């Protein structure tokens, strides 16, 4: 049997492959340029960021060294902050009676000088028990009707008239006993 | 059917072997090496960010420390240590009460201490006092810290009519050994001013008391036992 070689078709294939390798070479060159450019850029940026990191590290070290020299002052500040916050927290728990007593005296609806607070009990829950003494019945009567005075009631969250004592021994002594809870005042210095 | 590479392709591949190797190399660089470098870059950026934050904090800390006069801060710490001492000292309690009593005219006639109510940081003293309503009001103005110790009250029973008063007073101690490293070193200006003011008040009161003490020394014998009235 006789064999035939089709040289024309082989030539076409060869040209196709030649073109492919031509394109491949171009792509490889372009890829090389791009890769080298990226690598160079990365190298420059990396060196820059590394030196920035190094300079920040030495800056931090400098500040730390300076702070070590002032360690005692720093300790004092921390100590002051802790103790002063303790001081403020403790003071908040105090009864702080004076402003409440002054307000009570100001708004107390007693019309004459013959009446006054005879005793007062006050705790840090702002619960107050107080007794008013009167030397005559008329003052007691007038004050009793004044107890509903709005300004006076406004200083309490709650107020109860607990007892009225009308004892007439040697000295006439009339007493009103009240119990209530003060409204919280804005923080006032004693 | 077995596929074979023809002679031309093989020849072309051989001619372009350098390009093929370089292509694979660049591809490997793009796929493996560049992402690794980018990761390193971002890691460094993160480290720089943290370092900048640290440095800013250190600068802030340094400026706070520099703004504080060490003498003044030690003076304020001393005041706080006198108000809330590290260890309880009964003598300072009685001397505080005596100092307030002398300044206000509110006489303390008896003390009692419930030892079972005593805690590590707080001691409760029941006090009976006598004095005019004015002197009691002066006592109320002064008791919190003008005696040199921090005092708070839980309960007051006051009888203006017979001048008798009973009080439940709390004295505090606190030994701060382990200082917490605070990220915020900021000293509250208001608190600093308040403690400064208190220091000055205590100082002025103790000056008055000293002057009065010198005068009293001529009239009265000095107490040897603070528990006696």
CB B118 within 8 A of CB B124: yes
Percentage with pLDDT > 90 across chain B: 30
In whole angstroms, give the CA distance from residue B40 to residue B34.
10
Average the pLDDT over each of A35-39, B24-28, B45-49, B204-208 and give the range with the smallest value: B204-208
Instruction: Mark yes or no for CB contact B65/A49 under 8 Å.
Output: no
Residue B35, domain member (yes or no): yes
Asked if the C-beta of B141 comes within 8 angstroms of chain A's C-beta atoms, the answer is yes
Over residues B127-137, the pLDDT tens digits come to: 999 888 889 88
- Token output for A46: 């990396």
Q: Distance from B222 to chain A by nearest Cα, in Å?
A: 32
Over residues A93-119, the pLDDT tens digits come to: 898 888 888 888 888 766 555 567 888
pLDDT at B33 (0 to 100): 92
In whole angstroms, give the CA distance from residue B30 to residue A31.
9
Instruction: Mark yes or no for CB contact B152/A95 under 8 Å.
Output: yes
Among residues B157, B154, B186, B156, the alpha carbon closest in space to that of B172 is found at B154
pLDDT at A133 (0 to 100): 84
- Total tally of structural domains belonging to chain B: 2
Residue B179, domain member (yes or no): no
Residue A188, domain member (yes or no): no
Q: Say yes or no: A154 and A142 in one domain.
A: yes
Q: Say yes or no: A88 and A111 in one domain.
A: no
Q: Is pLDDT at B216 greater than 60 in this prediction?
A: no
Q: Distance from A154 to chain B by nearest Cα, in Å?
A: 23
- Measured CA to CA in angstroms, residue B229 lies from B107, B111, B209 at distances of 10, 9, 18
Give me the count of residues in chain B.
229
Q: For chain A, where are the E strands, in sequence order?
A: 115-123, 127-134, 156-168, 172-182
pLDDT at B11 (0 to 100): 84
Q: How confident is the model at residue A190 (pLDDT cuts 50, 70, 90)?
A: very low
Asked if the C-beta of B185 comes within 8 angstroms of chain A's C-beta atoms, the answer is yes
Which residues of chain A lie closer than 8 angstroms to B152, CB-CB?
Answer: 90-91, 93-95, 124
Which residues of chain A lie closer than 8 angstroms to B161, CB-CB?
Answer: 116, 118-119, 133
Q: How many alpha carbons fall within 13 Å on the CB side of residue B108?
A: 27
Q: Average pLDDT in the B75-80 region?
A: 90
Q: How confident is the model at residue A29 (pLDDT cuts 50, 70, 90)?
A: very high
Asked if the C-beta of B57 comes within 8 angstroms of chain A's C-beta atoms, the answer is no
Over residues B135-145, the pLDDT tens digits come to: 988 999 989 98
pLDDT at B128 (0 to 100): 92
- Token output for B26: 């660049």
In whole angstroms, give the CA distance from residue B31 to residue B37.
11
- Token output for A91: 């003071």
pLDDT at B225 (0 to 100): 55
User: Residue B100 belongs to what domain range?
Assistant: 70-174+186-219
Over residues B37-75, the pLDDT tens digits come to: 999 999 999 999 999 999 998 998 888 888 888 888 888
For strands A115-123 and B122-130, give the pairing: unpaired
- Token output for A41: 């850029």
Residue B81, domain member (yes or no): yes
Specify the CATH number for the domain of residue A177. 3.30.1360.100
Average the pLDDT over each of A25-39, A48-62, B1-15, B93-107 and give the range with the smallest value: B1-15
Question: Which pTM was predicted?
Answer: 0.70
pLDDT at A114 (0 to 100): 59
Among residues B191, B150, B128, the alpha carbon closest in space to that of A94 is found at B150
CB A181 within 8 A of CB A157: yes
Q: Distance from A152 to chain B by nearest Cα, in Å?
A: 21
Q: Show which of A69, A93, A117 is a domain's final residue.
A: A93
Among A49, A87, A124, the residue with its CB nearest the CB of B154 is A124
Q: Distance from A166 to chain B by nearest Cα, in Å?
A: 18
Q: Average pLDDT in the B144-159 region?
A: 90
Quick one: angle between helices A71-92 and B34-67, nearest 10? 70
Q: Average pLDDT in the B102-130 region?
A: 86
DSSP A141: H
Q: How many alpha carbons fall within 13 Å on the CB side of residue A139?
A: 18
Residue B62: Cβ-neighbour burial (10 angstroms; 0-12, 13-18, 19+): middle
pLDDT at A187 (0 to 100): 55
Rounded to two decimals, the ipTM of the complex is 0.71
Give the 3-state secondary structure of residue B112. Answer: strand
Residue B227, domain member (yes or no): no
Which residues of chain B lie closer than 8 angstroms to A31, CB-CB?
Answer: 23, 26-27, 30
Over residues A115-167, the pLDDT tens digits come to: 678 889 999 888 999 988 887 787 778 777 777 778 888 888 888 888 888 77
Handedness of CA A30, A36, A39, A41 (dihedral sign): negative
Q: Distance from A54 to chain B by nearest Cα, in Å?
A: 9
Give the 3-state secondary structure of residue B122. Answer: strand
Which residues of chain B lie closer than 8 angstroms to A189, CB-CB?
Answer: none
Q: Say yes or no: A170 and A105 in one domain.
A: yes
Q: Distance from B70 to chain A by nearest Cα, in Å?
A: 6
Q: Say yes or no: A128 and A51 in one domain.
A: no
Q: Say yes or no: B122 and B214 in one domain.
A: yes
Torsion, CA A147, CA A148, CA A152, CA A154, rounded to 10 = 150
Q: Say yes or no: B56 and B109 in one domain.
A: no
Give the 3-state secondary structure of residue A167. Answer: strand
Instruction: Mark yes or no for CB contact B44/A75 under 8 Å.
Output: no
In whole angstroms, give the CA distance from residue A110 to residue A143.
5
In whole angstroms, give the CA distance from residue B75 to residue A101.
34
Asked if the C-beta of B211 comes within 8 angstroms of chain A's C-beta atoms, the answer is no
| Strands of the sheet with A115-123, listed across from one edge | A156-168, A172-182, A127-134, A115-123, B151-159, B164-172, B122-130, B107-113
User: Residue A57 belongs to what domain range?
Assistant: 11-93
Q: Say yes or no: A102 and A177 in one domain.
A: yes
Q: Say yes or no: A163 and A136 in one domain.
A: yes
In whole angstroms, give the CA distance from residue A136 to residue B198.
46
CB B79 within 8 A of CB B195: yes
Pick B213 or B3 by higher pLDDT: B3
SS3 letters across B137-173 = HHHHHHCCCCCCCCEEEEEEEEECCCCEEEEEEEEEC
- Total tally of structural domains belonging to chain A: 2
CB A106 within 8 A of CB A155: no
CB A129 within 8 A of CB B189: no
Locate all alpha helices (DSSP H) within A70-96, ordered by sequence: 71-92
| Nearest residue of A to residue B58, measured between CA atoms | A63
Optimal mutation site among B137, B179, B187, B195, interface A, most CBs of chain A within 10 A? B179
Among B40, B83, B195, the residue with its CB nearest the CB of A46 is B40
Q: Say yes or no: A178 and A104 in one domain.
A: yes
Instruction: Mark yes or no for CB contact A56/B52 under 8 Å.
Output: yes
pLDDT at A9 (0 to 100): 60
- Token output for B145: 């810290």
Instruction: Mark yes or no for CB contact B174/A57 under 8 Å.
Output: no
Would you list the DSSP string of B165-203?
EEEEEEEE-----S----S--PPPHHHHHHHHHHHHHHH
Residue B180, domain member (yes or no): no
Q: For A95-155, where are the E strands, in sequence order?
A: 115-123, 127-134
Residue A54, domain member (yes or no): yes
Q: Say yes or no: A21 and A58 in one domain.
A: yes
pLDDT at A5 (0 to 100): 62
Pick B198 or A2 by higher pLDDT: B198
């Amino acid at each position: 049997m006789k064999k035939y070689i089709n040289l024309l078709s082989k030539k076409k294939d060869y040209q196709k492959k030649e073109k492919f390798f031509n394109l491949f070479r171009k792509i490889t060159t372009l890829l090389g340029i791009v890769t080298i450019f990226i690598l160079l850029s990365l190298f420059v940026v990396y060196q820059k960021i590394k030196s920035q990191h190094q300079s920040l590290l030495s800056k931090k070290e400098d500040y730390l060294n300076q702070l070590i020299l002032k360690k005692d002052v720093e300790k004092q500040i921390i100590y002051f902050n802790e103790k002063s916050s303790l001081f403020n927290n403790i003071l908040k728990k105090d009864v702080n009676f004076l402003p409440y007593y002054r307000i009570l005296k100001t708004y107390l609806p007693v019309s004459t000088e013959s009446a006054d607070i005879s005793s007062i009990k006050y705790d840090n829950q702002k619960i107050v028990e107080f007794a008013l003494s009167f030397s005559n019945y008329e003052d007691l009567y007038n004050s009793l009707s004044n107890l509903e005075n709005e300004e006076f009631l406004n200083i309490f969250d709650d107020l109860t008239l607990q007892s009225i004592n009308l004892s007439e021994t040697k000295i006439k002594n009339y007493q009103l006993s009240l119990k209530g809870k003060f409204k919280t005042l804005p923080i006032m210095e004693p | 059917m077995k596929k074979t590479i023809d002679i031309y392709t093989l020849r072309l591949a051989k001619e372009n072997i350098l390009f093929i190797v370089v292509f694979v190399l660049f591809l490997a660089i793009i796929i493996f090496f560049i992402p690794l470098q980018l990761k390193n870059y971002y890691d460094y950026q993160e480290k720089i960010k943290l370092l900048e934050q640290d440095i800013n904090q250190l600068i802030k800390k340094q400026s706070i420390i520099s703004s504080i006069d060490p003498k003044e801060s030690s003076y304020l710490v001393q005041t706080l240590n006198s108000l809330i001492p590290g260890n309880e000292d009964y003598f300072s309690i009685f001397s505080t009460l005596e100092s307030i009593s002398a300044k206000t005219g509110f006489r303390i006639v008896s003390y009692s201490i419930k030892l079972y109510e005593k805690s590590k940081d707080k001691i409760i003293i029941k006090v009976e006092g006598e004095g005019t309503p004015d002197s009691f009001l002066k006592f109320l103005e002064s008791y919190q810290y003008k005696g040199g110790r921090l005092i708070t009250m839980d309960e007051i029973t006051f009888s203006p009519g017979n001048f008798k008063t009973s009080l439940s007073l709390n004295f505090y101690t606190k030994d701060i050994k382990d200082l917490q490293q605070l990220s915020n070193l900021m000293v509250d200006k208001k608190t600093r001013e308040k403690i400064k003011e208190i220091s000055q008040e205590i100082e002025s009161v103790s000056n008055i008391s000293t002057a009065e003490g010198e005068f009293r020394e001529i009239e009265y014998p000095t107490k040897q036992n603070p528990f006696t009235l």
